């Protein structure tokens, strides 16, 4: 597996105050990966953002895939498309962050 993205999305922030911004930064990374390849059904990205809003409530691992005609986002790698990635959002240096404490939030996107 090749790591495509391994970066800090926000430093020194609490999830309860910055969750929208953290999710937005993760979503931006996904759009950046798909943009050169997707030629149809870019509206799938809207539904991916809704899925993230509902399902990412802190540190998370999920799978995201796309091809020229759309995306698939899920907790499992089933029903994937041409490009498949494992996406991990985590708080650096802690396994179970408190919602109100400040952490460095990182994202790792790995090609599966």
Q: Are 71 and 50 in contact (CB under 8 A)?
A: no
| d(C-alpha 105, C-alpha 46), whole Å | 23
- Total domain count for the chain? 1
Residue where the block lists tokens 């089933």: 78
| d(C-alpha 105, C-alpha 59), whole Å | 9
The residue segments making up the domain with residue 83 are 2-111
Mean pLDDT for each consecutive 10-residue tract of the chain (112 residues)?
Answer: 88 91 95 85 89 95 91 87 92 75 92 92
User: pLDDT at position 95, please?
Assistant: 64
User: pLDDT at position 47, please?
Assistant: 93
| d(C-alpha 56, C-alpha 102), whole Å | 18
């Amino acid at each position: 597996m090749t790591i495509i993205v391994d970066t800090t999305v926000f430093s020194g922030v609490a999830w309860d105050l910055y969750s929208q911004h953290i999710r937005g930064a993760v979503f931006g990374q996904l759009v950046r990966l798909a943009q050169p390849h997707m030629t149809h059904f870019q509206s799938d990205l809207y539904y991916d953002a809704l899925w993230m809003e509902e399902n990412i409530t802190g540190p998370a691992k999920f799978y995201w895939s796309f091809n020229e005609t759309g995306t698939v986002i899920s907790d499992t790698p089933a029903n994937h498309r041409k490009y498949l990635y494992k996406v991990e959002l985590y708080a650096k240096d802690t396994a179970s962050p408190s919602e109100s404490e400040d952490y460095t939030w990182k994202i790792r996107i790995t090609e599966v």
